[in-house]
Amino acid sequence: MTKFHTRRLCATVLSVLIATSPMLSSAQALVNEDVTSFSEDAAAAVAVEKSQLKVGQRYFIAVESLNLRSSNSTTANNVVAKLAMNDEVEIFDLLNEATPLVQIKLLKSAVKSDVAPELFVSKDYLSEKQILLPSSKYFVIQNVATEKTRVYERCVETPNCPHKLVMETEMVVGRPEEGTKDDPHAFKTWLGHAKISEWVKFYQDGMAHYPHWYKSGQDLKTIPGPITEGISKIASSRKWMVKDSNNKDTIYGAFGWYAAKVTPSDDVSGMNYQWIHGTIGWGKDGAAAIELTRGFLMNLFSNPGSSGCTRLENRAVAYLRSLLPVGTDIYRVYARESTREKETVTGFFKKKVTPMPRYADKFGVNGRWDYILLTNGAQQSGGLTADAKTIIDKAIPVIAGENLIEQGSYEIDQYPNATQLNYNYTASSGKTGDRYKIDSGKEADADRTNFKGYFLVDEGRFIDYQHPSSQATKGAIRVSGMADFINSVPEFLATSGEHNPPAVEFQKENDNNMGSHGG
């Protein structure tokens, strides 16, 4: 697959709503800047002047994402990869004072050393010491296998303590049922470790194929209506089918209210420009746009999954925008789920559930987040949050008919629920626990599973986890991103001991590997 195509994979397509094939779009326009970073100030504090650099000495990359070039030129067409914070390089040649680049050799990086015969980087972002930045309060684990996004509050009380779930929600991942001519897995979501590099309010793809959910100055009455109002959700969702500037069918507002860009982002050693973002519809629609992608009849005629990005309902992504700062860690995994603590059910006619002790106060009781979505900050990086408290505390004017788009409440699921592996559901239903069908689902093949280890959803930690093998899954799984989560698990995410995985429901023999239920 060409770089041109892989840069266009992240467009969100509800293709079931349109009669044409899904179309690709650019997730990000190419830029000439060498740096994509939330920590340039920190980098500047430790960067070494070129006159002080030494040939043969080891240096650390001092920004979150640094262009790696194949020649001594700052043009955009020679960027072969992105180096990540604290990747290790050795100076091979200082070149001359006129160029801002130096030639290097890779010592430690997720980027392969043979990505190009010669390698060059900017001289301004090299440090003699590793960059130590404070960890954010929260981190995110997205399980592509179960299509669940979970946010955890990082535990720092003791060296090996369990983390606390603060949010659990449904998501849609890249569709596996189709690809491009050159790559049958082109639209799948990649696994690995990245960080949020930027929040954009009402994002539009670089090719302008998928229009903004709202554009600055736009008449609010021109935004399509809620998809839950009308004869059916399918019929109402067709209002979001429009024509782009080339008169081709497309989906209005496909990136929703907010988009979180990630770093490293590239399609060589990054996350293939696969952002986290919202979807079509309004906040009052809730998860309807997500549920639309999982109906059996919809998937029978066309695949409405994403093209690699992870898509959440608009209220959920707006809540994340209010909670997660730039720099937040994102871990994408493909894992069986389990829990450390056990939820017990007693009684026969009148069942009683005894919840997990750590989360007993969250059982059956959702948290609440109030939002006020305003036009303020549209198309801006770091555009105004929708958090009602923030808007009220800052005394930001809220004027109906002018800058007020919608206000309401979002119920936050804060009780961990491990998703069962159940092969009696279709892979697109959101209930199978194996979205990309890396196992056959037959009990006879249970010993030959491609899953490795478990993800404890109540702790935000892993037991013996490894990403499934790309080779064993015939390319269905692709792992990239930061080096610490490619072949190992960061220490703060690793644990051991007894746990309680739900029993696997294997495929019934007469199901012919199709699953017996829809979504």
Q: What pLDDT shows up at residue 54?
A: 92
The percentage of the chain sitting over the pLDDT mark of 90, rounded to a whole number, equals: 60
- Between 474 and 43, whose confidence is greater? 474
Q: Residue 20 — very low, low, confident or very high, per pLDDT cuts 50/70/90?
A: very low
Q: Domain ranges in the chain?
A: 40-127, 134-360+415-511
The 3-state secondary structure of 332-354, one letter per residue: EECCEEECCCCCEEECCCCCEEE
Non-local CB neighbours of 479 within 8 Å, separated by 6+ positions: 190, 191, 192, 467, 470, 486
- Could you please state the CATH topology (level 3) that the domain comprising 134-360+415-511 is classified under: L,D-transpeptidase catalytic domain-like (2.40.440)
pLDDT at 50 over 80: no
In the sheet with 79-84, reading across from the earlier edge strand, the strands are: 79-84, 65-69, 119-122, 101-108, 88-93, 58-61, 126-127
Q: What pLDDT shows up at residue 220?
A: 95
Mean pLDDT for all residues in the chain: 85
- Range with the poorest average pLDDT among 24-38, 114-128, 217-231, 296-310: 24-38
Tokens 């490293």 correspond to: 264
Taking the mean position of all CA atoms in its chain, how far away is CA 72? 34
- Range with the poorest average pLDDT among 61-70, 118-127, 222-231: 61-70
Asked if 423 and 109 count as a contact pair (C-beta separation under 8 A), the reply is no
- CA torsion sign for 371, 169, 190, 500 is positive
Q: What is the pLDDT of residues 199-211, one digit of tens each?
A: 999 999 888 888 9
Closest CA to 309 of 258, 233, 375: 258
Of 54-63, 180-189, 304-313, 403-412, give the range with the top mean pLDDT.
Answer: 403-412
Cα–Cα distance, 453 to 150 (Å, whole number): 18
Closest CA to 271 of 208, 172, 197: 197
Q: What pLDDT shows up at residue 511?
A: 52
* Full-model pTM: 0.81
What's the distance, Cα to Cα, between the start and end of the chain in Å? 32
40-127 CATH: 2.30.30
Cα–Cα distance, 11 to 1 (Å, whole number): 17
The pLDDT of 129-138, averaged and rounded, is 77
The pLDDT of 351-367, averaged and rounded, is 94
Q: What pLDDT shows up at residue 305?
A: 56
Q: What pLDDT shows up at residue 35?
A: 53
Paired tokens of 220: 């609010």
DSSP 315: H
pLDDT at 31 over 90: no
The pLDDT of 209-233, averaged and rounded, is 92
pLDDT at 6 over 70: no
- Range with the poorest average pLDDT among 14-28, 315-329, 415-429, 453-467: 14-28
- Between 219 and 32, whose confidence is greater? 219
Q: What pLDDT shows up at residue 112?
A: 80
Q: Which residues of 446-484 are buried (b: 16+ CB within 10 A; e: fewer)?
A: eeeebbbbbbbbbbbbbbebbbbeeeebeebbbbbbbbb
